[in-house]
Structure 1
Amino acid sequence: MRGKRKIMSRNSSELLIEPLIKRSAFLAGMLVMIFMYWAFAHFIENINLLDTLNAVWHAQFPHVPSLPHELVTLIELFHPRVLRHFIPVITGWFIAYLAAVSLVRVLYDLPDNAFARRFLNRIVTGSTSGAKPVITTSSTLESQRSDSVLLRVGGPGTLIIPDGEVAVTEINGRYYRLLIPGKHKLIPFEYIYTQISLRTQERQITAVPLVTKDAINLTADLSVTYHIDRGGILPTLTQPYPFDEEAVKRAAYTRVNNGSGQATTWLDTPVNTAQGILRGIISNYNLDELLHPAGGAREPHYIISQDLKRKANRALKEIGVELESIRIGRLELPEAAAKQYIDHWQANLDAQIQLALAEGKASSWEEVEMARAEAEVAMIQAIAEGLEKARLAGSAHTMRDVIALRLIEALEKMARQSQSLEQLPQELLAQIDYIRSGISLTQQLPASHDED
């Protein structure tokens, strides 16, 4: 379609863009315009050398026919009055060239004008002769850009991709093609956007900050092993680093600004993703559940690892990364958090002790009151029994002594029952014995049959 570029596929690993105007057509057009300008200059100068040239010609060769009109016109085109019209054209062309060189040097931050002239000539002619191929790796690409115009600006040029890596190129800021390991010729302004390693990667991070459900701070080491999604293709001797093209494209364009002016790439995304998921998982556990799981419960570390791997693998698939393994180190309490946990545990323990003491004290008071009630009943029963025996004995003095003696016995029984619950004064029982011995009975009473 007219006015649009066509993308033609030469093979599976190389695409070529058909330019809007072919170079041969451009050169032919320029030649036509120059010749027309030349003819116009001849026309406005109105030069006629036919008579002059024929006179000179006949003077030298009298018997030779006159010069052809076309030859005279061709000679007239090289007349100084005609050629002087090319002075502003050549001057303007030269000034435009110098301006283009200066613009290219400033625009692409090239070291000097000579460097810019070589680059401009390479763009205009499309020739890469004399330029050494550039060998890049995923780890050195960004550092090489400052020293290589091919990597900083783009083609034309020759690029070599080492084994185990692929490169993603762009033209005008849009994805163009994927370069597999080998030697490649870049077309003008074909820019190496990024280079990706197909080898297995491992990233480790220490002391990942975590917070439990009960607001206790923890730390843990985290290790993640991953590689570019291989699309289900297993490595072989002939193809040791298979890859899925769509996965490479997704990984190449996975860039996140971290707020400090630097962008994180697909290499940083797996460990960052795993950190976020791990924090979410740990926030659902209390510290006691992590350190001291209840009897019969599965090891929480294993459960957390499996949950983390499942969730991380699902998230990384979306950016073209396949997770191989993930390992969580031992959960550790920082020194300040350890003191915080001990204080929290001690407070809970103190609360439980106080609750147990309160419950025990309430139970003791209840038992004391019950003992006192039983003693009062026993005392009343003893007094009633004494009164009955005194009545049968028929003596008022004896009745008084019996009542006093039974009262003393009831008090002693109540004191002995209370002694098992509360500490009694040591002289209390002695005083009771002393009072009993001081009572004399005028009449011998039958022995009591109640149980002390």
Structure 2
Amino acid sequence: MRKNKLTPNLNVFIIIIVAIVAAAIGYTLDDSLGVQLELLGALFWLSVFGATFVFVLLYFAQFITPLGGSEGWWQGWYLMVRAYFTSPSASVRLPGKSAKKDRKQKRKRKKKQSAKEELPPSFVTLNAGLLRPYQVIAVTKGKQYVGSKGPGFVMLGIKEQARKLINLRKQSRSQTIEVTTRDGIQIEATVTVEFQVERPPTTPDDRLLYPYEPEAVFFIAYADTIDENGIPQSWTSQIIAKAAGLALTELAKYSLDDILQPAKGVPGKVIEAVQRDLEAAFGQHHIQFLTIKTIPNIQDKVWEQQKKRWKSEWEHKIEIRQNAGRAEADRQLKQARARAQIEIIDTIARSIEAMRQENDADLAQIITLRMIEALEEAVSEGSIQAMVPQQIMASLVADTSRQMKTWGTEIPPPQISDRYRQKGKRP
């Protein structure tokens, strides 16, 4: 504020001085007959000065407000009269030590108030001002809530105050949280919420770029709180804090593998749960939530820990499968060996029995010949060759040959029972 700029108190003082001077001039003037006008002249000059002052105010009043017509003229007149005759606000001072002190304090608070919406200075001096298309104010009268005004030109009534300036544009807030997953791994996640004051489906004024629900203004006007550390929390801070707490609770229900696998859709489930709870808490106050995002931030040490765990799990799975494969190979090998022996013995036994019924041939020769034929048939069969290696087949031939020679000289050959023939098991 410049030194030559008058404050409202000085304006009133100057008007009074000018009126006294005009009255004194009228008092000292004489008429055409040389008679001094005295009191009549003083009253006449005061009337002329007052009428001139009023008409000048009326002329300039039409340029004060952006409103047209009689309403804008009347509001401009009201603001000009208030500017001249209303006592100055505590924030309006003449330049000096106190003003310099205020400027220093203002510079100290500048960083803290940089993100805070502030009313135009005219609301402090004149209780009126021009709001941007996305701004609206909550108005109170004493301790009672009156309603909302704006956007555009706003003039407060007698004893009305602007409690809070509200931004109707889309708001975006983010917060980083630390989460311990279900499998005990600590990760970080960024929660982002985009929201705005709910817009009604229909509005009586189509010229509004940002229509709004008046009930939401009432909630926002009284939503500010103070946390346990004494720091003020605005309504936007409360929403992101609520969303961060809900996301923390939901992410803790899942393991890191579930969170990182897109097929399981864990982020989508977390977002749905957070949005559902936020709408339950703030939807009744006409706060609309547009977008909610939960992005895990996996650090390098967490990746290394997860890689080691994955490696251990896969090594264990590979070892189990290898052991199962070796056990299956041993089982098939034993089964093939038993099958080959059963077929050989069964063939020899049937041949011996048939030869006995035909003639009295030498048993040792018959056993040897039939053994050779049975081995040739077994070796030539494709299924046995595929299941039994060549070394095992050669060993079977040698063992069977020695056993058959023993049968021919010492004991009669064994008989294969019908039970083993039907089931195909080893005797």
Tell me the TM-score normalised to structure 2 length.
0.48
- Choose between structure 1 and 2: higher helix proportion: 2
